[in-house]
A = this chain, B = another copy of it.
């Protein structure tokens, strides 16, 4: 299948490109290096320096024999979108091309505007490009479990039947996020759902939980193919940050009571979920939604796991509760369904002690490049 990956330079984008091309798909990636620019502006660095997309595509081809096409440009500009879609008419599209960090979106007015403008502008252009150049192509959109927030009822997979005053109807599950980033993902879903109904698009919306992990099958033998791995408070996800804090001998920063509970998944499972979705596309006029995670943990549980595994490796891991800089429930009900991707064939990579240990061992190799002042700055929501 010809697959175009929007946002191919990011933490998930490049590993997805390798994973799909290794399984026989014809892959092209698009990126404007926005994440790199924002990291530079905010003075944070990934754990390992990452070659450019063109360099990574060359390394990957040299290693594996698979060719990945690279387009560099801004998907918010229609001229560029048109150029890419005319040149590489995809059958499947993976849309990662968004400003992906909740803390960044809450930094200041400029960051908020960039997040809103970039995320919705790219999604709108994607919708128009599919309609114009490849109306039968299947869009796989990365949403977030954060769209649902933490409701006091079970979270279904995207849809809910509501019975009210003796009548019934089926609705998009009501969504209520707690950052602007997460809210733009709600808006993406609304936009896609509109054009699925109006134009008959095929869309899979993957409500993904926080991802962790350092390497995938394709990068484990070749560290220059590793993902763009942020461990800072702004762009890093919580478990990745905890692992780096453990190795750097910094206390694990738990926000508030630490009862915040989410569904997590290994980066390898992200790749499998995206591939399984592409290989069994949504129907014409269907918005198919999956909840994409494999296990549920509270922040305290993650911190305790990292502490236990870190201490067994001879580290001295401390846990430091901090006043919560975010506005979120610190103790809440959380029971989301997540059967759709398992039914498509997902075989989860669970967060075992062995998995955590392997992550830590790799981070230990890069210990000297950890910038401790990157890890925590206390970006406040208000």
Contacts and interface: CB of A to CB of B under 8 A. Distances in A.
A154 B162 contact: no
A154 B160 contact: no
Contacts of A128: 109, 112
A162 B168 CA distance: 12
Stoichiometry, as copies per complex, reads 2
Interface string A55-91: 0000000000000000000000010000000000000
Which of A116, A165, A333, A381 is packed against the most chain B CB atoms within 10 Å? Answer: A116
A327 B112 contact: no
Contacts of A113: 78, 121, 124
B171 A174 contact: yes
A108 to B, nearest CB: 9
A186 interface: yes
A270 interface: no
Contact of A382 (B121, B183, B190, B198): B198
Contact of A168 (B120, B152, B187, B193): B152
Give the size range of A's interface with the partner.
35 or more
A78 to B, nearest CB: 7
A79 to B, nearest CB: 12
Given A162-B160, A327-B197, A382-B198, A169 B190 contact: no
B167 A154 contact: yes
Contact of A117 (B121, B179, B187): B121
23 contacts: A112-B124, A117-B117, A120-B187, A151-B171, A152-B169, A153-B165, A153-B168, A153-B169, A154-B164, A154-B165, A154-B167, A160-B164, A162-B162, A162-B174, A171-B174, A178-B197, A178-B198, A180-B194, A183-B191, A183-B194, A187-B187, A198-B327, A199-B382
A101 interface: no
A171 to B, nearest CB: 4
A177 interface: yes
Contacts of A364: none
B174 A174 contact: yes
A40 to B, nearest CB: 23
B162 A177 contact: no
Contacts of A175: 190
A174 B160 CA distance: 10
A180 to B, nearest CB: 6
Nearest to A161: B164
